[in-house]
Amino acid sequence: MSRRTARASLRVNPIACQAHGLCIELLPELVRADPWGYPLIRQGPVPEELLPLARRAVAACPTLALLLARDD
């Protein structure tokens, strides 16, 4: 039986986001840049193998705008 892991999704607080762009550099698998440098996040839950990288990107955001929210 597989261990049940919590699914989580990436969200950005658009008011806090100031387009520093670290998330786009650190997590290109899930975050792209729009024409103005703001993050475009791929919809859906974060794949399990990318969760540590996602957490790193969340910690790196200078304005704490990137959020990893549990899907519940």
Partner 1 sequence: MSILGAVAPPGAIVVNSATPLWYLTRATGLVALVLLTASMALGLLSSVRYQRPAWPRFVIVGLHRNLSLLALVFTGAHIATTLADSYAPIRLQDVLIPFISAYRPLWLGLGAIAFDLMIALTVTSLIRTRISYRSWHLVHWGSYVCWPVAVLHGLGTGSDTQVTWVLGLTIGCVALIAGLTGWRLAYGWPSYAFARLAGALAIVLTLVAGGAWLAAGPLRPGWARRSGTPPSLITGRNRAGAAALSQRQTTAGAAALSQRQTTAGAAALSQRQTTAGAAALNQGGSRATVALNRGGIRTTAAALLRQGR
Partner 2 sequence: MSVAGARAAAGQALPPHRLPRLIPPEGPLALAEHLERYGPVPFSDAAAGPGRDTLISEVEQSGLTGRGGAGFPAGRKMRAVAQAGRRAGPLRSQVGTVVIANGAESEPGSTKDRMLLARAPHLVLDGIALAAEAVGATRAYLCLHETSDGVDRILSSAISSRERAGLNRLPIQVVMIGGGYVASQETSLVSFINGGAGKPAFVPPRPSDKGAHGRPTLVQNVETLAHLALIARYGPSWFRKVGGGAGSALVTFGGAVHRPGVYEIALGTPLSDLLRQAGGPTEAPQAIQAGGYFGGWIRYQDALDVPVSDPGLRAAGASLGPGILVLVPASACGLAETARVVGYLAEQSAGQCGPCFNGLPALADALWELAYGRADRDTLGWATRLLSLIARRGACHLPDGTAALAASTLRVFADELGRHTAAGPCNRVRRPGVLPVPGHPDVRA
CB atoms within 10 A of CB 48: 10
Place of tokens 């790193």: 56
The answer to whether 34 contacts partner 1 (rule: CB under 8 A) is: no
Where residue 31 falls (left for φ over 0; alpha for ψ -120 to 50; beta otherwise) is beta
Among 32, 48, 59, 71, indicate the residue that binds partner 1 (CB under 8 A): 59
Strand 31-33, strand 8-12: pairing: unpaired
Coil/strand/helix, residue 34:
coil
Among 7, 9, 12, 22, indicate the residue that binds partner 1 (CB under 8 A): 22
Question: Out of partner 2, partner 1, none, which partner does residue 45 contact, by CB within 5 to 8 A per kind?
Answer: none
4 to 23: interface string for partner 2, x by CB under 8 A: ---------xxxxxxx----
- Which residues form the interface with partner 1 (CB under 8 A)? 16, 19-22, 25-26, 59-60, 62-64
